[in-house]
Amino acid sequence: MDLATRKMVYYGLLGLLLAGSTIAVFRVAPQMIPVQFLAKDGTFAVYFSSIPSDIQSNQSGSNLAPQALGLNPPGQVVPISINVTIDSISFHDNEGNDSGWTTESLSPPMTINLLQPTTVSWLIVTEKIPAQNVTMIVLHVSKAVASVSTNGLLPISPVSVSIPSNTLKIPINSGARVDPQKTTRVVAVRPHIVFAGNSGMVKVTPVLLVESISGPE
């Protein structure tokens, strides 16, 4: 093989090696892109307002039924706390799957005293969810209990709390947009409380108003 032929073979092999290396780089490169650049989820955070729930009695006066509380004689009844425990949250997306619902469990569950004021909004949950337009939030309540006192005495036995379907619903008429790698925050007004009739039961209204929406940002 003369010199010219050897040079031709050499440069031909070199060209094949360079072409193969280039193809390999393009095949491997997508796998080297950091995961965060491919993320399609956004952060969705739900809060309760810092202002305590408002309370109303549907009896004449402001007393709970003394017979239901085991009080004799009747006394002035004042709520001390109303604790609700939330163990899951569901989101409704009007652009999503067939049902439009996504449910996330809270671990551990979140317990909040509806009558306790806070200096800032009370964070209930923050979740990573796919980009969507959330039109309804449903908080599932696994436990609810109230403590009351009479005539300023120490709290007596817990009083049962009624929450229809054990859920607190937060409808968002205009929707709350969730975009990839951004955060959307929804602050809900705490539920309205009613002392019910002669039963002595505490009722929590199941539909909450939205105080504010911020984001995605």
pLDDT digits (tens, 9 = 90+) for 13-29: 556 555 555 544 445 44
> Could you tell me the two tokens for 170?
């937060």
**Which ranges constitute the DSSP H helices of 88-177?**
none
> Residues with Cβ < 8 Å from 40, sequence gap 6 or more?
130, 131, 180
Q: What is the mean pLDDT of the chain?
A: 76
How, if at all, do strands 41-48 and 122-130 pair? antiparallel
How, if at all, do strands 77-93 and 167-178 pair? unpaired
What is residue 13's predicted lDDT score, i.e. its pLDDT? Answer: 54
Taking the model in full, what pTM does it have? 0.70
What is residue 28's predicted lDDT score, i.e. its pLDDT? Answer: 46
pLDDT in tens, 41-85: 888 899 999 999 988 865 444 444 333 444 434 556 667 889 999
Phi-psi region of 205 (alpha: psi -120 to 50; beta: other; left: phi over 0): beta
Residue 64: what are its φ and ψ, rounded to 5°? Answer: -75, 160
